[in-house]
Each structure stands twice: as C-alpha cells, then as structure tokens.
Amino acid sequence: MIAIIPAAAVTIFYGEAQTAKLLILSQVVLSLQLSFAVVPLVWFTADRKKMGELVAPKWLVIFAALIAAVIVALNVKLLVDFVRG
C-alpha cells in the first residue's frame, strides 16, 4: 500500500505521459546513486589495511576500477542528456 498509493495518485493526477517522465527521473536518481556504492566498494576491497588477507587481487581491482569509471562516465552523460531534455 505504501508504494502503490503514491504511484496510483501520480498516475491519476498527472496522467500517463507525466508518469513516464517521473519514472525516467527516478531511474536517473537511482543510476546516480550507483556510483556512490561502487566506488567505495572498489576502494575498500583494494585496501590491504581494511581487508587484510582478503584484499582483492590487483587484476580484479583494475578491472573493477575500470567498470566503476565507465559507470561514472555513463552517469555524467545521462545527467547531461537529462538536463538538456
């Protein structure tokens, strides 16, 4: 009920076209939050002081950092595209 009532209210009040825009905005926000989870995860798993013997191997850290950089770059592009319309 907590999730359905606001979604139904927005759909009824704004119509289907505005609901689609709201869905896109929510996905942009969720996508931007992904960077704030992935970057610290890569950083912490690469730190031998924090992880001890469970530290990630160097090749995995490089691969994960590359993926994190791609995520950040795509988020910047998404944000620019969203602002431009």
Looking at residue 81, its pLDDT comes to 86
pLDDT digits (tens, 9 = 90+) for 3-41: 788 778 878 887 777 777 788 878 878 888 998 999 999
Quote the pLDDT of residue 67.
95
Distance separating alpha carbons of residues 61 and 51, to the nearest angstrom: 13
Number of structural domains in the chain: 1
pTM for the whole thing? 0.68
Whole-number CA gyration radius for the chain? 19
Token representation of residue 78: 């998404």
Name the residue among 21, 1, 2 with its Cα closest to residue 11: 21
Q: What is the pLDDT of residue 25?
A: 78
Q: Write out the residue range of the structural domain in which residue 11 sits.
A: 4-84
